[in-house]
Amino acid sequence: MHIAVLQNQPHIGAVDANLAAVQSAVEDVAFDLLVLPELFATGYFFHDQSQVRRLGEQVPDGLTTRFLMELAATKKALVCGGLVEREGDRFYNSAVLVGPEGFIGCYRKLHLFYEEKLWFAPGDRPLEVYDWGTARIGMMVCYDWRFPEVARVLALKGAQVLLHPTNLVQPYCQDAMITRCLENRVFAVTANRVGSDTKPDGSSLTFTGRSQVVSPRGEVLCRTNVDDETVLTVDIDPGEADDKLVTEHNHLLSDRRPEYYDPVTGKQL
């Protein structure tokens, strides 16, 4: 499976220009699966709720999902990217997965980071795995990396490849994802952005780039740098993620002792 990871620098609120930039960045790139960053068409550091309302789109009928479906049809490939999802009066930080035949699924970010809590409702749907024939795919978004339960649940549901759109502002995730891959024996495709978003009051966030693909053995198969707008590609065999044997005596998933893990599934500390 030929994977592409796009690292971009969207301009806040400039959806048409941001989509056009993605279109031209992948024009001459062949892939079976493309992963784009979190909120790749809108920017991240929103000014106020009215801006979020203006940028919110229905899934799958909104502009961004339709753009992704057209791209998937043209490229005969899977495409995943993040957007502001609107459902009624609620807004979600979501990732969609689409294919050549259209919409496949939508994941609503479970763990909201920083000011996202002002604008978005937390995800309210189970983590899903989509069996595409050539790969079983799960989605997680950015800060979900801090919660190992997310990758674990996706692995337990059979995911071979974790698609991970991000807008990372701290430097830890890229290395932490190596551990997520090792502890679950899965591939992870982290698509991050670069540049800064600055609000009218002068406050700003700078994003950490270093988009990457990591193998089930924790190898970084490819990684971009901290500031380039670029597309990386790499070939993977998703079936490698089905080998959960760490030694001849150790199966990664059946070695677990969930009867001792009760606090992990409860809210009480």
Instruction: Just list the catalytic residues.
Output: 38, 109, 142
Q: How far, in Å, CA of 41 to CA of 9, rounded?
A: 9
Per-residue contact track with ligand ACM, 20 to 59, x per CB under 6 A?
Answer: ------------------x---------------------
Q: How many residues bind ligand ACM (CB under 6 A)?
A: 7
Using CB under 6 A as the binding rule, whether residue 113 contacts ligand ACM is answered as yes
C-beta closer to ligand ACM: residue 167 or 174: 167
**Residue span binding ligand ACM (CB under 6 A) among the ranges 16-24, 70-78, 165-173, 214-222:** 165-173
Strand order, beta sheet including 161-165: 129-131, 136-139, 161-165, 187-191, 212-214, 220-223
Choose, by CB under 6 A, the member of 80, 153, 168, 188 that binds ligand ACM: 168
Choose, by CB under 6 A, the member of 119, 132, 143, 187 that binds ligand ACM: 143
Q: How far, in Å, CA of 120 to CA of 149, rounded?
A: 21
Choose, by CB under 6 A, the member of 18, 42, 167, 174 that binds ligand ACM: 167
**Residue span binding ligand ACM (CB under 6 A) among the ranges 157-165, 166-174, 180-188, 190-198:** 166-174
**Cis geometry, peptide bond prior to residue 10 (ω within 30 degrees of 0):** no
Q: How far, in Å, CA of 237 to CA of 4, rounded?
A: 14
Torsion of CA 257, 268, 90, 173, to 10 degrees: -60
What is the amino acid identity at position 120?
F
Task: Give contact residues for ligand ACM (rule: CB under 6 A).
Answer: 38, 113, 142-143, 167-169
